[in-house]
Structure 1
Amino acid sequence: MPRTAPPAGPADLVLTGARIHTVDPDLPEAQALAVREGRLVWLGSDADAARWTGPDTEVIDAGGRLVLPGFVDAHNHVRLGSDDACVQLAGARSLDVIHQRLRSWHDAHPDAEWIEGEAFDYSAIPGGRMPTAADLDPATGDTPAFVLSYDVHTAWLNTAALRRLGIDRDHTSLPFGEAETDPATGEPTGFIKDFAVKGLSRDGHRTLRALGVPWASTDRQYGRLAKSLDDAIRFGITTVVEPQNSLDDLALFDRARAEGRLRSRIVAALFHPRGTTEADLDDFAAAARRYDDDRLRVGPLKLYIDDVVEPRTAALLEPYAGCRHHRGETFYPAADFGELLTALDARGFQCFVHATGDRGIRTVLDAVEQARTRNGPRDARHQVVHVECLDPRDTPRFAELGVVACMQPRHCAPEIAGPGKDWAENVGPDRWHKAWPMRSLHDAGAVLAFSSDWNVAEMDPMVGIYTAVTRRSLDGGAAWQPEETVDVETAVHAYTMGSAYANFLEEERGSLTVGKAADFVVLSRDILRIAPEEIPGTVAERVVVGGETVHKA
């Protein structure tokens, strides 16, 4: 790709009167830019912009506003929603409030065959326990109820749903999760673990669809995708990395593209659950060859090594707070995972590995080290996704092994993970210094790729940047683990060039550089100069993808 400016002459688009933060150290700032055939051909001063302006050039006056490269959201589940047909349980802080919302929805939809909800918070269940069917039954009666947690890692069913789905003491290992059982009776409780690992797999989704769960239907999936894609472009996210898809799901992106809904560029990772075969890998490689253009690219593989801290299913080095022995489990024995990642690395796959607990993260780093020893070093850019609880001894290994830290700053906000919340209480104060160590990783030379993890948290990059910079709640208050904050420039880099690099896109996106795609956003406020508490109120006034304005506030 050329990195020298072509000869001056009329451009398709010229933007002037801006404060352009390029995220390019060779030209950190500019006032104006020019676009021709979807690419940046010039950046410079307003005084020179006339050289690029002709009678047919679209000229945009930014009015002194900040212009940034389009955001690259490195981990955004645009296929998951939120779903307008579900009862929305975000912010329901008690079982009583959950009941009220479910009853209100059911009263408004008395003929519904299913009651579905999403985004329940574990902390809403009294006593720090996991929810049961008996907790749902008073609000749902004999109508089957299917409720997903805010992180989509667990599902919660009522008694009618257990019957409808054929779950009993003899059928607890399911294609879509593991049904927890009462230790005294052996009966299923209504709480389903490992939903993200099994329920979002190809087999799990097909099973739910065959059993008549409306949430799993193709039309509902597409509705969630289309709505989320609209949100992404509204927030200035010009590239979305959808981190967990089956081959079946790719048709949804084809449909979105055909219907003009694919305004953000997409990188789609394919899910590699346990049991994936060599034939499956051949199909994955074929899909990567088929989908390989600047709008839709398929290729990386998504794996899990552990689950999540809140229901105590993440893998920790030491037992959970208040437990003598329980420290969670990895989905693979460490030796097996090392062999698996080494084999995938040898075939040239890039791996995104979900790892939240310190033992889970170490298991992934050990596997990457084994792969490099066996296969030889290569520019693999394997990712540890989430990095929620990192032992300091493993911090330098990210840079040493070339592993990207794909992190979601909003997850570490005090109102989500801090003191009094399940994450902090399960880990215990002695390990809080391990929580989302963004600054430590950055200082150690690791590549940070920031993302939202929508719909686990808000999609808006402004919320993520604010949290990375302050580690405060959205309404202010005390910071949690403030020694791990980063500055605004670092956060912006992680949401642009860091995420572009993490996905082998740094030659095309991530900075405003001559020759790269003309993907940029004009913000309503200068987030590099305003007080941090003003960042969340900032909006994308104009979003440009490939030189075309795709959103105006």
Structure 2
Amino acid sequence: MSTTADIIIHNGRVRTMDDSRPFAEAVALAGNSILAVGSDAEVKALAGTTTRLVDARGATVMPGFNEAHMHIFGGSVGLGQLSLMGVKGFDALKSAVLAYAAANPDMPLLEALYADYTILSEDERVSRHHLDAIIADRPFVMMAPDRHTAWANTVALDKAGILNGRDVGVGNEIVMGADGLAAGELREGNAFGPIMALSATGGREMLGGATGGDPAHVTPAERATDIAVLKQGLAYCASLGITSFQNMDGNLYQLEMLQEIEDTQGLPVRARMPFHMKNFMPLTDLEKKAAAWRARFDSDKLRCNFVKVFMDGVTEGETAVFVDDYAHKPGWKGEPLFSAGHFNEIAVEADRLGLPIAVHAIGDGAVRMVLDGYEAARDANGKSDRRNRVEHIEVVHPDDIPRFAELGTVASMQPTHPPGSAGLPLEPYLTYIGRERWPYAFAWKRLVEAGAKMVFSTDWPVSPLSPLSCIRDAMTRKRWADDMPDQRLSLDETLAAYTRTGAWVEFMEDRKGVLKPGYLADVVVLSAEIGQAIAQETADIAVEMTICDGRVTYEKS
């Protein structure tokens, strides 16, 4: 390694996330590695005639953020879609949709994001008739914040061939009306996938999650468009201080596009992608595809080394799986996407192949099934450091909390998701899970205190991507009732969940996630000292500079 720095960041409050030296004043970078961390005098002595000096002006300098659960292709596409965040009531919805339609006269499918389940009112569910009253002559669809439920108007349902309903498989539903036609509400990807296929991208951004497969045919022009969209999303990540992301949907199409970007201009963000195992795929795909992709994509910039699975849906769509009945719907617990036996087979085989698993599990019943599968893998193959994950864990049964530490299972959670936080409504969520389950919902502190490793993320585009906003949400979460436990973590615990623990879960703790000599040069410079900010003000802190692999990937103008 060179002894002369290419970049020196000085006069900062350097939060190294390294327990052996938590704070410093300056960091020196040479090539794609950290050359030194120390005092201003020590580090500035490494400057040469071409060294760039960056004055942090007393603000926080820290490892780049590791967004541990997101969807890069869908999020990138979403940057050009209508946001309905904060929109309430029919009139406001109509105004927003018509303005968006007028501004996009040639768009084949008008798409909106962040439509609350209660966007009309607390007790009126959206139907195609509501949407027809807003716009009837152009296909329109809007997606719930969780992206597990969508609502479409009649022309969209008709053009997609689902106005009369269709078998969409277990755990998915085209809600039907009393007239025998689709009511407009579409639950889970198989149900709204035909609608998304009407879009300008042909729904290609959905395939990695909905089917785990690749588009049947893509023209060179379509591929070029998709790559351009991905580049916009990657640049957006860099602008928010993100230097690594872990994707939660995956297919070969996305991997090859990201590899092309890396080969031609360099990825501005490190990417970890999964093989997405669906319930209709043969078990042999784990060896033929997942293990093969791991061998093919295995660099520090782009890796494909884990398996993603969906066990259930979401609570508001009544597709999450619970141990006991939904509080508002006696007799209904939800239906898992995999049987216990089927998932256990997958867990055992993935573990045999050395592939970690990340499983979407919202309800406590789904969480228990996932933990049972990880236990089956341990019993079959012996104990190993696999770093399997459970994604979301919106509700966990108290009996299962200690099992996370016992099985070495990572709790992957989103501070932007609790109802009442980040602008989300309390209902219908609180009513659906019932008062008895409230203390075990989004139980970050309970899990950490029980010894679970935890990573934080946003699930973008389910929630806005900014890590600083997410940290604010984690630090300002309000209790739903005075007798509820306070689930907030400390600032240090929260920052660790966004940096070094994210690196650990990727098996990259030996080279990123902390600022330490010899580690990869992934750094973010903020506009203020995060430790001095009032928690509510954290989201107002700006990213001044992002450096990934020693290259400046974003700089505030």
After TM superposition, the score normalised by the length of structure 2 is 0.89
Paired residue secondary structure (1:499): helix
The structural deviation recorded for 1:34 is 2.1
Q: Does 1:155 align with 2:161?
A: no
Partner of 1:395: 401
Q: Which of residues 521, 528, 541 is equivalent to 1:525?
A: 528
Partner of 2:72: 78
Mapped to 2, the partners of 1:9 and 1:261 lie a distance apart of 25
Between the aligned partners of 1:500 and 1:283, the Cα distance in structure 2 is 24
Offset, 1:375: 0.9
Question: Could you say which residue in structure 1 is the equivalent of 2:246?
Answer: 241
Higher deviation after alignment, 353-362 or 56-65: 56-65
Which has the higher mean CA deviation after the structures are superposed, 26-35 or 346-355? 26-35
Indicate the residue corresponding to 1:44 in structure 2: 38
Please, which runs of 5 or more residues in structure 1 have no aligned partner? 1-5
Are the aligned partners of 2:212 and 2:249 in contact in 1 as well (CA < 8 Å)?
Answer: no
Aligned letter for 1:245? Answer: G
8 A contact 1:415–1:421 mirrored in 2: no
Match of 1:105 among 100, 105, 109: 100
Point out where structure 2 has 5 or more consecutive residues left out of the alignment.
194-205
Cα distance, 1:264 vs structure 2? 0.9
1:494-548: per-residue Cα shift (whole Å, max 9, x none)?
Answer: 0001111111111111111121101111111111222212211111111111222
Residue 160 (structure 2) pairs with residue 165 (structure 1): yes
The answer to whether the aligner puts 1:542 opposite 2:545 as a matched pair is: yes
Q: Distance in 2 between matches of 1:446 and 1:206?
A: 29
Contact 1:418 1:424 in 2 (8 A): no
Residue 277 of structure 2 is matched in structure 1 by: 272
The residue number in structure 2 matching 1:3 is none
Secondary structure, aligned partner of 2:323? coil
Quote the offset at 1:481 in angstroms: 5.0
Q: Deviations over 1:331-354 (max 9, x none)?
A: 112232222211221222111100
What secondary structure sits across from 1:12 in the alignment?
strand
Counterpart for residue 468 of structure 1: 474
Partners of 1:167 and 1:207 lie apart in 2 by: 22
Match of 1:229 among 222, 225, 234: 234
Cα distance in 2, alignment partners of residues 159 and 206 from structure 1: 28
Specify the SS of the correspondent of 2:78. Answer: coil
Opposite residue 63 of structure 2, the aligned amino acid is: P
Give, in angstroms, the shift of residue 408 of structure 1. 0.8
Q: Specify the alignment match of 2:49 in structure 1.
A: 55
2:267 to 248, 254, 262: 262
SS at match of 1:302: strand
- 1:28-72: CA deviation from partner (whole Å, max 9, x where unpaired): 111222222211132222232244223333332322221111111
What SS is found at the alignment partner of 1:314? coil
What CA distance in whole angstroms lies between the structure 2 residues aligned with 1:283 and 1:251? 14
Cα distance in 2, alignment partners of residues 344 and 496 from structure 1: 26
1:145 to 119, 137, 140: 140
Question: What is the aligned counterpart of 1:253 among 254, 258, 262?
Answer: 258
Matched, 1:386 2:392: yes
Shift of 1:411: 1.0
Q: Which residue of 1 aligns with 2:461?
A: 455
Preserved CA contact (<8 Å) 1:244 1:271: yes
Do the aligned residues in 1 keep the contact of 2:88 with 2:121 (CA within 8 Å)? no
Inter-partner Cα distance in structure 1 for 2:513 and 2:210: 35
For 1:160-199, what aligned pairs fall within 5 Å after superposition?
160-169=155-164, 171-173=166-168, 178-182=173-177, 184-195=178-189, 199=193
Amino acid at match of 2:328: G
Residue 219 of structure 1 and its aligned partner are, at CA, apart by 6.0
The residue that corresponds to 1:21 in the other structure is: 15
* Shift in CA distance, 89/531, structure 1 to aligned 2, threshold 3 Å: closer
Q: Which amino acid aligns with 2:516?
A: T
The residue number in structure 1 matching 2:196 is none
1:322 Cα shift?
2.0
Q: Match of 1:550, SS?
A: strand
Contact 2:323-2:333 at 8 Å conserved across structures:
yes
Cross-structure match for 2:329: 323
Q: Identify which of 27, 41, 48 aligns with 1:33.
A: 27
Q: Residue by residue, what CA displacement relative to the aligned partner does 1:60-96 show, whole Å, maximum 9, x if unpaired? A: 2322221111111101212112535533322222233
Rounded Cα–Cα distance in structure 1 between residues aligned with 2:229 and 2:548: 22
Aligned to 2:199: none
Greater shift after overlay, 424-433 or 56-65?
A: 56-65
Q: Is the 8 A contact 1:315 1:330 kept in 2?
A: yes
Q: Which residue of 2 aligns with 1:133?
A: 128
Distance change (3 Å), C-alpha of 1:351 and 1:197: farther
Q: Is residue 422–residue 473 contact of structure 2 (8 Å, CA) maintained in 1?
A: no
SS in 1 for 2:230: helix
Q: Which one of 35, 49, 65 corresponds to residue 59 of structure 2? A: 65
Q: Counterpart of 1:33 in 2: which secondary structure?
A: strand
Contact 2:169 2:190 in 1 (8 A): no
Superposition deviation, residue 202 in structure 1 = 5.2
CA–CA separation in structure 2 for the residues paired with 1:437 and 1:544 = 33
2:202 corresponds to: none
Rounded Cα–Cα distance in structure 2 between residues aligned with 1:479 and 1:247: 49
Distance 2:109 2:7 in 1: 51
1:335 aligns to 2:310 (yes or no):
no
Partner Cα separation in structure 1 for residue 468 and residue 420 of structure 2: 17
Q: Distance in 1 between matches of 2:116 and 2:184?
A: 16
What is the DSSP-based 3-state SS (H/G/I as helix, E as strand, rest coil) of the residue aligned with 1:167?
A: coil
Q: 1:460 to 1:400 in 2, by over 3 A?
A: same
Counterpart residue number, 2:200 = none
Distance in 2 between the 1:374 and 1:295 partners?
33
CA distance in 2, matches of 1:206, 1:370: 25
2:198 matched to which residue of 1? none
Contact 2:78–2:461, Cα closer than 8 Å, also in 1: no
Aligned residues: 539
For 1:210 and 1:333, how far apart are their aligned partners in 2?
29
Letter in 1 for 2:490: D
- The farther-off stretch of 151-160 and 309-318 is 151-160
Structure 1, residues 134-171: CA drift from partner, whole Å, max 9, x if none?
22211221322233222221222222222212225462
Question: Which stretch has the larger CA shift, 14-23 or 188-197?
Answer: 188-197
When the two chains are superposed, the root-mean-square deviation of aligned CA atoms in Å is 3.0
The DSSP-based 3-state class of the residue aligned with 1:256 is helix
Measure the CA separation in 2 of the matches of 1:203 and 1:442: 29
- Which residue identity is paired with 2:345? E
- The answer (yes or no) to whether the contact 1:269–1:301 under 8 Å persists in 2 is yes
Structure 2 SS opposite 1:549: strand
